[in-house]
Structure 1
Amino acid sequence: MTTSVQNSGGAGRAGGSADFAGANTPPTRRPALLEALAGQRPARTPVWFMRQAGRSLPEYRALRERAGAPMLDVCLWPQQAARATLQPVRRHGVDAAVFFSDIMVPLRLAGVSVRIEAGTGPVLDTPVRDSAGVRRLTAHRFGDADRAGTGPDGGALDGAAAVNAIQAAVQAVVAELGSPGQPGAGARPPQQADRAHSHQRGEPPRMPAAPVGLSARAQAGLAHSRGTSDWTPLLGFGGAPFTLVAYLTEGRPSRDHLAARTLMHADPSAWESLMTWAAHLTGQFMAAQVRAGAAAVQLFDSWAGALPAADYREKVAPYSALALDVVRDAVSATTGVAAPTIHFATRASHLLPELHRTGADILGVDECTDLARAATALGAGPRDDGAGTRPVQGNLDPALLGAPWPTLARAVDACLEAGRAASAHVFNLGHGVPPSTDPDVLTRVVARVHGSQEWERTALAGWDGEA
Structure 2
Amino acid sequence: MPLVCRLEHATHVSGRTHIYTKSKGGDSNSSKMSTAATLTEAFPPLKNDLILRAARGERTERVPVWLMRQAGRYLPEYGEFKEKHNVGFFDMVKTPSMACEITLQPLRRFNLDAAIIFSDILVIPQVLGMGIDIIEGKGMIFDFLLQTPEDLKKLCHDADVARDLSYVMDAITMTRHALNGQCPLFGFSGAPWTLMKFMVDGGSSTPLPKARKWLVTYPEASRQLLQLLCEKVVDYLVGQVKAGAQILQVFDSCAGELGPDQFQEFALPYLKDIAYRTKEKLAEAQIEPVPMVVFAKDAHFAIDDLSNSGYDVVSLDWTIKPTHARRIAGKNVTLQGNMDPCMLYAPENELKNAVKTMLKRFGTQHYIANLGHGVHKDVNPDNVAVFVDAVHMYSEEMNSSS
Shared fold, TM over 0.5: yes
Q: Aligned runs of 1:72-91 on 2, under 5 Å?
A: 72-91=90-109
C-alpha displacement of 1:86? 1.0
1:243 — aligned with what?
194
Q: Aligned runs of 1:225-236 on 2, under 5 Å?
A: 231-236=182-187
C-alpha displacement of 1:432? 0.5
Q: Does 1:390 align with 2:333?
A: yes
C-alpha displacement of 1:328? 2.3
Of the structure 1 ranges 281-290 and 74-83, higher mean CA displacement relative to structure 2 is found in 281-290
2:320 counterpart (350, 366, 369)? 369
Q: Aligned runs of 1:13-92 on 2, under 5 Å?
A: 31-92=49-110
The whole-number CA distance in structure 1 between the counterparts of 2:185 and 2:55 is 13
Tell me, yes or no, if the aligned pair for 1:128 and 1:248 is still in contact at 8 Å. yes
Of the structure 1 ranges 107-116 and 293-302, higher mean CA displacement relative to structure 2 is found in 107-116
Deviations 1:336-379 (A, max 9, x none): 51111100122221222233343211100011011121122112
Q: Matched residue of 2:220: which SS? A: helix
- Identity level (%): 32
Q: Does 1:407 align with 2:335?
A: no
C-alpha displacement of 1:282? 2.3
The amino acid across from 1:392 in the alignment is: L
2:362 counterpart (419, 423, 434)? 419
The whole-number CA distance in structure 2 between the counterparts of 1:450 and 1:86 is 20
2:311 — aligned with what?
360
1:109 — aligned with what?
127
The normalised TM-score by structure 2 is: 0.81
Deviations 1:439-461 (A, max 9, x none): 122112211111189xxxxxxxx
The whole-number CA distance in structure 2 between the counterparts of 1:62 and 1:411 is 32
Tell me, yes or no, if the aligned pair for 1:353 and 1:378 is still in contact at 8 Å. yes
The amino acid across from 2:337 in the alignment is: G
Tell me, yes or no, if the aligned pair for 1:298 and 1:343 is still in contact at 8 Å. yes
1:297 counterpart (248, 261, 264)? 248
The normalised TM-score by structure 1 is: 0.70
The amino acid across from 1:176 in the alignment is: A
Q: Matched residue of 1:275: which SS? A: helix
2:175 — aligned with what?
173
Q: Aligned runs of 1:237-316 on 2, under 5 Å?
A: 237-255=188-206, 258-316=209-267
Please tell me the root mean square deviation across aligned C-alpha atoms, in Å: 2.4
The whole-number CA distance in structure 2 between the counterparts of 1:41 and 1:257 is 47
C-alpha displacement of 1:260? 1.2
Q: Flag the 1:370–1:120 CA change in 2: closer, same or farther, 3 A.
A: farther
C-alpha displacement of 1:120? 5.0
C-alpha displacement of 1:128? 1.0
- Structure 2: 5+ residue runs without aligned partners? 1-44, 396-402
1:209 — aligned with what?
none
2:20 — aligned with what?
none
Tell me, yes or no, if the aligned pair for 2:352 and 2:386 is still in contact at 8 Å. no
Q: Does 1:443 align with 2:394?
A: no
The whole-number CA distance in structure 2 between the counterparts of 1:358 and 1:256 is 32
Q: Flag the 1:391–1:120 CA change in 2: closer, same or farther, 3 A.
A: farther
1:342 counterpart (293, 309, 313)? 293
Of the structure 1 ranges 352-361 and 84-93, higher mean CA displacement relative to structure 2 is found in 352-361
C-alpha displacement of 1:135? 3.3
The whole-number CA distance in structure 2 between the counterparts of 1:369 and 1:65 is 39
Q: Matched residue of 1:285: which SS? A: helix
C-alpha displacement of 1:280? 1.7
Structure whose CA Rg is larger: 1
Q: Does 1:94 align with 2:94?
A: no
1:208 — aligned with what?
none
